[in-house]
Amino acid sequence: MALNVGVIGLGAMGAGMARTLSGKGFAVSAYDLAETARAQIAEHGIAARDSAADVIAVADIIVLSLPLARHVQETIDAAFDANAFDTGRKIFIDTSTSEASVSRQLAARLQQAGHGFLDAPVSGGPQGAASGSLSTMIGGEEEFVSTARPVLDAIAAKIIHVGPSGAGNIAKLVNNMLVACHMLTTTEAMRLSEAAGLPAEDALRVINSATGRSAISEVHFPTWVLDNSLNSGFSAGLMRKDMKLALELAQEAGCTLPVAELAARLWAPEQSGLKDSDDFMQIADLRGKVEHDGE
């Protein structure tokens, strides 16, 4: 049976996924609060609806790409109020970097009403969304993963079902916490190398064949730092949000993370000098420096 797919949230990630799904033959309906985003997606032959509830009413599988957990909560609350679930069984794929506790609550509520919810945050940026080559880590019931598999396969090249509801959120926050730390440590390593007389490009050739390598040194630095473009498509504000969520999760779990706490302070605007709207790669400007506020 052909699946009708909805996409709610048409930023760089959501719009890219909507276009990818449409290009792979799915009937796609979409919504965003911004009229300009709806107009732009309509130019690609995708049905732009007047509300999120309208999308949910006509779709079997709904992909959410929203900024915060509360936006996901509000979207589903509004859909219940609008009786959007009366048109058949729905499965949500929440690609937002969200909160495990919220995902678990939504999954329980939706399952009680006969619907499914997967927390499925993604990695790969706007380019991955546009090409269908994202990686996704999924929390939720295997039954819902199996039903949503055609849509997941269309948007992601790597799909890892981590465990029950909330597991995908936890995995994404742990991953992004490492990204935040790796960005700082790799930047400092490259600044030291250049200050001591070895160009960063040459140091990276060694690091990326040795034990100090990471995705930051293997992908981000060669792609966006060495040419000083510093434009990955992921904002400093989003990185701060993810670090905040990771530290809140640590507090809930009773886990002490002194290195992550220091990293969060270094990412703060007053330490990094970056506005929320700045690309997070700008912290790796080798012409600058990272201050450790005396620590």
Which residues are tagged catalytic? 172
What number of CA atoms fall less than 13 Å from residue 189's CA on the CB side?
Answer: 19
In which region does residue 229 sit, left (phi positive, over 0), alpha (psi from -120 to 50) or beta (all else)? alpha
Token pair 């996409």 in the structure block, residue: 7
Alpha helices in the chain (DSSP H): 12-23, 35-42, 52-58, 69-81, 100-112, 125-131, 142-155, 167-195, 200-207, 215, 236-253, 258-267, 269-272
Distance between CA atoms of residues 282 and 292, nearest Å? 17
